[in-house]
Chain A
Amino acid sequence: MTLDLGRAEGNAAAGKDHLRDAPSQARILVVEDDDNIAALLGRELRGLGHTVDLVRYAEDALFAARGNDYALMIVDLGLPDGDGLDLVRELRRRTVEAPILMLTARRRVEDRVIGLSSGADDYLVKPFAVPEVRARVTALLRRPSRLRGHRIAVANMVVDSDALEAVVDGVSLALPRKQFQLLELLARRKNHMTPKRMIEEALYGFDDDVTANSIEAQISKLRRALKAAGAGVSLETRRGIGYRLLGANQAAN
């Protein structure tokens, strides 16, 4: 028997027909302390046209993530300076929203569940088959950014539509349901104007009693809550058009 490596000319060229929808030239961070595995992943992903940064330590990964906007991260669970689970949690706390593929030799179902609930988007058990890594990477990169998870990061704030909470600098922000819905909508459309009518349709049902200033009142309360929590965002009003959520830096520009 031979192994199915999708053999063609070179490893990574193999199987490209299956990957034609994959975004090319994504920047990927690989956090792996096994030199052979890291080199294999680097070779394969570069062969697919991606830019790959390889690091061995969790600390280096945090540093790299601070300075680069990665389209994907591959994180091994057993790192020399810490647990990959803690690294994933810290990346999410720092509002890194790139999809994360967790790589581990831990084979128990509960380990996989813990990995996914820590903020990873996918989980691959070692030993792995190279074509499976390629396929998973491609699938994760193919997801529209708004679907790459249910967390939307804006500046130091993360809006988590699964947990139904907004978190600012790691601290949960207690918002009433309507304000959370409003924030989630604006965060999904961050940097874009959201018309008032769209907000009304998202927040209120046909039978709800919506007064002329209902949206303004919700916006005002939300703005105060964000400011009180120290969120580095700005909620901009354009009279007659709608509202826009911006990171503080963007608002200043």
Chain B
Amino acid sequence: MAHVKVVPIGSPREMALDATARLKNRAALLEKEARLAERRAKVQAGWGPTYVDRVHQKGKLTARERIELLRDEGSDLFEVGTFANWGRAFGKLESPAAGVVTVFARIHARWCVVIANDNTVASGSWWPRTPEKIERAQEMARRLRLPVVYLVDCSGLYLPEQSQSFPGATGAGHIFKMNALLSFEGVPQIAGVFGDCIAGGGYMPIISDRVYMTEGAYMVIAGAALIKGAKSQELSSLDIGGPEVHVHASGCADARAPDDETALALIRADVARLPSSGADYHRGGVDAAPPFHEAQDIDGLFPSDHRHTWSVEEVLARLVDRSLFKEFLPARGREIVCGVARVGGLWTGFIANRQGVVEDAEARDGAKPAGILYREGIAKTAAFSRACEADGIPIVWLQDIAGFDIGLEAERLGLLGYGSSLIYANSTNKVPMYSVLLRKASGAGYYAMAGLPYDPIVQLATPLTRLSVMEGRTLAIATYRTKLDANFEIATDDPEERAKLEQAMQDTEARIEGDMDPYKAASQLDIDEIVRLSELRPWLVALVEMAYQSIGHRTVKNPRIWSLHDLDALVEPR
């Protein structure tokens, strides 16, 4: 069956949720989103106006100003790693965004990964986790085959903390290995050198296909300060490794530019010479279209209390084009929704946890709680994941998952085995996968649904995300289980001991609650970006378009030959 028979999903705002609940949800969310906006603004300010002025006084632009000139006018930027090193201090110093801006930007209608040293934060030097953040952006580009633009303005490692960022497997040198791998795999790389680029900052641009240097820029293995005799000969670093040397003598750069603006214009012109995006071809004559049910209304759908449920259909309806969706195997494993829809006109697979209670003929009372993985749901997810891989349909994972089903029945059914089969499928998938931690991302459920350890190209979180092995309450129970009865109630008659135990359990719960904060995960690079719920749709449109931009490097089958249809054919009533 070549037709992908999508059907309407979701209902109008007034029917999706009553107005009182919607407004309450929205108010609670807006509070969290206001904090997100505030924190983003703080990060984006770098070290603040004094340092911005310093950059301007040198006749240079800041990293963010450079990106503004680089992107297509009016296009949106999608930044990753904003909260790297959030809440972390090195001595008295903070390193907003780990001193490097990494964004997806459109240049001449092609998605590119832009990696720009933040010259308002310690002259763009590399902090602990800066290498990892740069490498993560390079990896995103490698997996999606997106051109990379480096805006280099980096005085090397931040030396007081060198032991954390130099020697390890992902230490600064691994950036250059990634440069090499990108080149090896044919991913275009273009570099602009804008300032004092010493040591690592000097190595980073060189492997790029084109290297531009501004007149004030230099690249050196070591600066004049470390060169014997430089002082007496009045040699500056610019004399040692400026454009006079590298463009004309050494050939380590290709061309010189009088200023930042010109260099950026030259880079844009290079990107325009690359092949145009394959996305429109893969739309197959169907135009991108917004969701029929206002995308913005997603912000009223999630209850403020994480124990309360929400409707997966209403959320999907606000993410996919025209709110048209095709679910596969809808009658089986109802705790999970697997289906396809167009996002920005391009086919996208969705795997999402259903919440609340789902029917199950085999369960006691004919129903069971969702938001948990059971055998059928796991098997369905694995089959769908494999089919998307075979068909080249990018997968979006929407997580709100408490974990696997547990207990005697679960073990007898072999959930460990089914779960491992799913993990095998996800681990070996080459098709682009993106994970979105809508709310809970707990335990093995987080793994089974392509959480970060399974290499999704991008992992997004929302201000509602709770990422943990187990919820605080569960851990408190596990910790104090010897003191609890079969219903997990405190089993003592001594009021003093009871009070002590209650306090201890509350403390455990509170500590885990703090650890589940998405900013903490984002600071550790365990989440690529925290986004507002209403930003999810534009993010998905951009990410899916990126997945279809470069042709020839991965399977993209037309729907006529999708193996996905087999799932339908086998369950169709005869």
The reply to whether chain A is a binding partner of chain B is no
